[in-house]
Structure 1
Amino acid sequence: MGHGIVTGFDGSARSEAAVGWAAADAARQGEPLRIVHAWPWLGSAWSDGPAAAPHRGALEELEGLADRLRGTHPGLDVVTEAVADDPADALLARAAEHRLVVLGSRGLGGFAGLLVGSVGLAVAARSTTPVVLVRDGAPAAPAGAADRPEIVVGVAGESSAAVLEFAFAEAERRGARVRAVHGWEAVPFWTAAGWMPPQEDVELRGAELMDVLTKALAPVRAAHPGVEAVAETRTGGAAHALVAASAQADLVVVGRRQHRLGTRLGAVAHAAIHHCTAPVAVVPHD
């Protein structure tokens, strides 16, 4: 695992929110922050044309933003970098050298993107390093809805080990608690009122899944004994359960399977990114 945080900036409010969140997290952990501005035509003949105006403005904002961050977080090591490259490729090339990638996200309808709307999606789907997507308006240093911040993590079988480790490690760093959620669909049956699940079956299946979830949490709880953790199962499916549980979360953690055909995110990750108001961490796993 690399060290420090890399984030992208394109002059938009969404990317500025992501940079602010990344700076607060880097300062909290005593890690360096690298801010990347990527522009395909940087340094070329295009840099003097009309298409370069947003790029020049973003560079000026980038330097001003870095100065403000150093003032807000004294001692924070901030490095800025402007590169002539596709934004997604530039960020992916630097991802492996860092612990975390942080990018802006529109949520509810798409990704902010750096110059193009697909950058956040492309990086989250292809990065071997966890990617956090931050919505515009998200606080740079969330305080949680209660006395302690909370991290919500979606749990889906044995493949969740790496996702759980990330969630518990982040909770340990932040002094947060973990809410581990498993969502499932109840099998309905037909009545005069329509399709309904038998209540006794729901309760039995819920108890069985809670036992499985508790066992899945045992190793990571043992590895992080100081982290308070709550386990819960919810009906309505994995995506619905995760979004519902995240209403007051400071960070939502979902998994993304690696080595799949293509570079697509799963349905649960998409639901979290589009519908959770909290920042969403997408964690790759085998």
Structure 2
Amino acid sequence: MTTQQVLAGLDGSPQSEAAAMWAAQEAHRLGAALRLLHVWPWLTSAEAERQARPGDLRPAALDALSRVADRIRLTHPDLTVETAVRADDPVDGLVAEAQGREMLVLGSRGLGGFTGLLVGSVSLAVAARATVLVREEQPLPRTNTAPAREVVVGVDSCEPDEAVLEFAFAQAERRGATLRAVHGWDPAPAWAFGGMMPPPMDLPDQEGTEASLLSEHLTRPRAGHPGVDVVEDVRIGGAANAVLDASAGAELVVIGRRERRHRIGTLLGPVAHAVLHHSTAPVAVVPHP
């Protein structure tokens, strides 16, 4: 009996249901169980009375989760699926439930007027505090008979993190996919009395140095996953743009989230923030020191 578990957060939206179906595929791939969870502050009748909310919402929430679970069991009859509701702040509840589980899967839900912003406030807040996969409402991942696509991982050649690379290599290995390791960089500007000048003529040398650093950082995870085909991709134009450009058609995008403490809480870095908002592929955010 497996002890691994994939957690999917549902809020009743079509995006979250698509995320649950995606999570089911991941759980099946991992040989893990699937837990469908709805978190909302007002679920019990006691809370309803204190907050002047009508009725007890827990049965309705469980019924909605059960319908999604039944759909999943039709396509994955051997998958263990359980449902649960939790009376809590959505962000706090999801983060707490995610502890010790393989991954947390959420659907993107950008409800503002900007179509390029794909992640809602809850998903973004959870991504700042826990490992999370964010899934837009796109078709499910390929089947085993479909042509292999790519897993894309963003690599900072100055401060790479082994946890991010290990996660990306493991995901590519499970999928039988190629891993594209992307490093985006900007040439150091030159300055003169008249202000900033174009990059120097030794640009090819700088690019060669960046490419060598990327290869060096991939040496250890490559040795641990010898069956994974790796494409080393060095691009000029900044880290976020490089990852987003490379992610078109990707099966998964993997980025790191450095622990950033602020008086108002943990914050996402600019690259993670940009990729989460604008990627049309699923995004895995892997925390690291």
User: Under a length normalisation based on structure 1, what TM-score does the superposition of the two structures give?
Assistant: 0.87
Relative to total residues, which structure has the larger helix share, 1 or 2? Answer: 1
Unaligned regions of 5+ residues in structure 1, if any?
Answer: 113-117
Give the CA RMSD over aligned residues: 2.6
Q: Give the match for residue 132 of structure 1.
A: 133
Confirm or deny that 1:111 pairs with 2:119: yes
Query: CA separation of 1:43/1:54 partners in 2, compared to 1, >3 Å: closer, same or farther?
Result: closer
Identity score, percent: 50
For 2:42, the aligned partner's letter is W
Q: Distance in 1 between matches of 2:261 and 2:48?
A: 38
Q: Give the match for residue 203 of structure 1.
A: 204
Shift of 1:54: 7.9
SS in 2 for 1:111: coil
Whether the 8 Å contact between 2:24 and 2:72 is mirrored in structure 1 is yes
Q: Distance in 1 between matches of 2:197 and 2:148?
A: 40
Q: Distance in 2 between matches of 1:60 and 1:40?
A: 18
**Residue from 265, 271, 275 that aligns with 1:272:** 275
Q: How does 1:20-99 map to 2 (within 5 A)?
A: 20-45=21-46, 47=48, 58-99=61-102
Whether the 8 Å contact between 2:151 and 2:250 is mirrored in structure 1 is yes
Whether the 8 Å contact between 2:43 and 2:57 is mirrored in structure 1 is no
Query: CA separation of 1:181/1:143 partners in 2, compared to 1, >3 Å: closer, same or farther?
Result: farther
Moved more, 176-185 or 56-65: 56-65
Moved more, 54-63 or 171-180: 54-63
Please give the per-residue CA displacement for 1:39-65, whole angstroms capped at 9, x wherever unaligned.
Answer: 211112454876669876544321111
SS in 1 for 2:286: strand
Q: Give the match for residue 161 of structure 1.
A: 162
Unaligned regions of 5+ residues in structure 2, if any?
Answer: 111-115
Query: CA separation of 1:134/1:214 partners in 2, compared to 1, >3 Å: closer, same or farther?
Result: same
Query: CA separation of 1:54/1:202 partners in 2, compared to 1, >3 Å: closer, same or farther?
Result: farther
Q: Give the match for residue 11 of structure 1.
A: 12
Whether the 8 Å contact between 1:181 and 1:232 is mirrored in structure 2 is yes
Q: Distance in 1 between matches of 2:56 and 2:271?
A: 38
Q: Give the match for residue 225 of structure 1.
A: 226
Q: Distance in 2 between matches of 1:277 and 1:143?
A: 19
Query: CA separation of 1:244/1:52 partners in 2, compared to 1, >3 Å: closer, same or farther?
Result: farther
Whether the 8 Å contact between 1:143 and 1:149 is mirrored in structure 2 is no
Whether the 8 Å contact between 1:22 and 1:33 is mirrored in structure 2 is yes
Whether the 8 Å contact between 2:187 and 2:203 is mirrored in structure 1 is yes
User: Under a length normalisation based on structure 2, what TM-score does the superposition of the two structures give?
Assistant: 0.86
Whether the 8 Å contact between 1:38 and 1:85 is mirrored in structure 2 is yes
For 1:92, the aligned partner's letter is V
Confirm or deny that 1:245 pairs with 2:246: yes
Whether the 8 Å contact between 1:143 and 1:250 is mirrored in structure 2 is no
Please give the per-residue CA displacement for 1:10-46, whole angstroms capped at 9, x wherever unaligned.
Answer: 1101111111110111112221000111121111245
Q: Give the match for residue 152 of structure 1.
A: 152
Confirm or deny that 1:281 pairs with 2:289: no
Shift of 1:251: 0.4
Q: Distance in 1 between matches of 2:257 and 2:214?
A: 19
Please give the per-residue CA displacement for 1:237-260, whole angstroms capped at 9, x wherever unaligned.
Answer: 111111111112110000011263
Aligned pair count?
A: 274
Shift of 1:176: 1.1
Q: Distance in 2 between matches of 1:259 and 1:184?
A: 22
Query: CA separation of 1:204/1:15 partners in 2, compared to 1, >3 Å: closer, same or farther?
Result: same
Q: Give the match for residue 184 of structure 1.
A: 185
Whether the 8 Å contact between 2:58 and 2:85 is mirrored in structure 1 is no
